[in-house]
Structure 1
Amino acid sequence: MPANRGEPLQQPGFAEAPHYHGHRERLRERFREVGADALSDYELLELVLFRALPRRDVKPLAKALIARFGSFAEAIHAPDARLREVNGLGEAAITEIRLIAAAAARVTKGQVKQRTVLSSWSTVIDYCRTTMAFADKEQFRVLFLDKRNQLIADELQQVGTVDHTPVYPREVVKRALELSATAVILVHNHPSGDPTPSQADIQMTKQIAAIADPLGVAVHDHIIVGKNGHASLKGMKLF
C-alpha cells in the first residue's frame, strides 16, 4: 500500500471545496461589517456575480469588466451587446448586472418622487445621472412638474444616435398640457461623456421655452449629463 506522504486523507463522498468559496464568504463578511465603501469596484462586481455564477471564481471576470469599462457604474450600465463581448459573461450574469442598474434607477426615482423637485436639486441630478449618464445613445427625457414643483411624470421622449436625438418642441409642450403640468425640466445625455451644451442644445431649449411660456408652462432647466459630470443650461444662463 503506498505511503500517504503526509497528505490528509479525503473522506469518501466529500469533494474538497473550491478555493474561492472561502474568498466569497470573506468578501460577504467584509461587506456586511464595513459596507460597500470599503470594497473596490471589482470586489463589488464580484458580489453581483456570485449568484449568477455559483461555481466559478468570478474575481478574474470582475477585474476584466472594470478593465474594459473603467468603473463599477460604467460596467453595470454598459449595453448588453458590449457585455456579451466579455469572455465568460453569460446571460444569467448580464441579467444580474442589469438588475443592479435597474434597482439604482428605481431608488433614485423614488427619492425624486417623494420630494419637491426644486428643493432637492442634488437628488434630481443624481437620478438623471444614474438613469442616463452611461447610455451609449442620446436620450431625451422630460420631468413634468405640478404647481408645487412635485413630479407628475418622468417620460423618455426620444432615443437617438450616439450624438443626436430628434426633439419636437411642440410635442413636448403638448404632453405637458395633457398632464396639466405647470413646469418641465428637460434632460438629455451626451454619450461622449462631456456634458458641455452644443449650439443645437441651446437652440432647442429656447424653442421649447418660447412655445411653453405663453401657455403657462415654465421650463425650469435643461440638464445635460455625461460620465464626466453635468451641465445646467439655466445655471449657465443660456436661455
Structure 2
Amino acid sequence: MDRSDWQEKGEGHRQRLRDKFLAQGIEAFTDAEIVELLLTFGTPRSDCKEAARAALAQFKTLPAVLDAAPAELQQIKGIGSKNIFALRFIQGVARRYLRQRIVGKHYVRSSREVADYLIHAMRGLQHEVLTVLFLDAAHAIIDSAVVAEGTVTTNTVYPRELVKAALARNASALILAHNHPSGALSPSRQDEELTRTLHLVCSFMHIRLLDHLIIGSGDQVYSFADQGIMAKIRDDCRPILERTG
C-alpha cells in the first residue's frame, strides 16, 4: 500500500468515526476511539489508533489521559506537541462549558452539576487549589474563582482577599472547594481550621459559608455540610459571634 492509499484509508476511517458520532453520539464510542479522534485533530493525516491505545494502556482511563502532563504524554510513541494541544484544548473547552453551565443556577438544585464542574476542574492536579463559588441571597451561583494555589491552610489563604472578592461580586454566600492530590477524601485538621477561620471572617461581613468540599480521586467529593462538620463549626463559633456582634 503506497502512502496515498494509506492516507485515503486513514481518512475513510476517521470519516466513519465522525459519522458514527453524528449518528449515535458519544455513548457509541469506546474510550480508545475518543482519544484517537482527539489526537487526529492535532495530526489529521496521521494514524493515531495505536497512540490512542498506548495512552489508555499507560494512564488507564480517559480522564487520566486528559489530565496527564504534556511531558508524560510525549513519552508515548505517536503523540507530539500538536496532539497534546488538541487534548489540552478539548479539556479546556469542557471545563469552561461546565463552569458557565452552573452560573445562575440554584446551588441546591444543581449540586450535581457543581460537583461535575469541580471534579473536572480539580481532579488530577498535582498541587492543591482552593476554588470558591460565589452565591447570591437566593443561593444562585454568581461566579467561581481560584483564590489560592499550593498547600491550602490558614497560612496560605488570605481571608481579606476572599472577602474582597465576595464583596466585589455582591455575594451573600460562599462554597469552598479544594482538592487532595493524594486522592484522600478525609479532611485534615488544617482543613477544619481553615473552614472555621473563614466561617468567622465571613460571618462578621454577613456572608454565609455554606459548605467546604474536598475533591478526591475519581468522582469522589466530601462535603463538610453533609458530614455535619459545618453545623458543628457554626455551633462552636456562635458564642464568639454573639460576644462580638
The corresponding residue for 2:129 is 139
Is the CA contact (8 Å cut-off) linking 2:130 and 2:148 kept in structure 1? yes
Question: What number of residue pairs does the alignment pair up?
Answer: 227
| Separation in 2, partners of 1:185, 1:116 | 13
Is the CA contact (8 Å cut-off) linking 2:133 and 2:141 kept in structure 1? yes
Task: Specify which of 225, 228, 233 is matched with residue 234 of structure 1.
Answer: 225
Which shows bigger deviation, 82-91 or 180-189?
82-91
The corresponding residue for 2:241 is none
The corresponding residue for 2:92 is 102
Is the CA contact (8 Å cut-off) linking 1:173 and 1:208 kept in structure 2? no
| Separation in 1, partners of 2:117, 2:30 | 23
Q: 2:74 aligned with 1:84, yes or no?
A: yes
| Separation in 1, partners of 2:58, 2:162 | 37
Report matched runs for 1:1-239 at 5 Å: 15-18=4-7, 19-160=9-150, 166-228=156-218, 229-239=220-230
Is the CA contact (8 Å cut-off) linking 2:32 and 2:52 kept in structure 1? yes
Percent identity between the two aligned chains: 33
Cα deviation for residue 193 of structure 1 reads 2.1
Cα deviation for residue 90 of structure 1 reads 1.5
Is the CA contact (8 Å cut-off) linking 1:170 and 1:208 kept in structure 2? no
The corresponding residue for 1:4 is none
Is the CA contact (8 Å cut-off) linking 1:193 and 1:227 kept in structure 2? yes
Q: Aligned Cα RMSD in Å? A: 2.3
Is the CA contact (8 Å cut-off) linking 2:179 and 2:215 kept in structure 1? yes
Is the CA contact (8 Å cut-off) linking 2:104 and 2:142 kept in structure 1? no
Is the CA contact (8 Å cut-off) linking 1:78 and 1:135 kept in structure 2? no
Which shows bigger deviation, 182-191 or 83-92?
83-92
Amino acid at match of 1:16: D
Is the CA contact (8 Å cut-off) linking 2:130 and 2:177 kept in structure 1? yes
Cα deviation for residue 42 of structure 1 reads 1.3
Which shows bigger deviation, 91-100 or 172-181?
172-181
Cα deviation for residue 123 of structure 1 reads 0.9
| Separation in 1, partners of 2:173, 2:104 | 17
Taking structure 1 as the reference length, the TM-score comes to 0.86
| Separation in 2, partners of 1:38, 1:226 | 29
For 1:16, what is the secondary structure of its paired residue? Answer: helix
Cα deviation for residue 51 of structure 1 reads 2.2
Taking structure 2 as the reference length, the TM-score comes to 0.84
Cα deviation for residue 178 of structure 1 reads 3.4
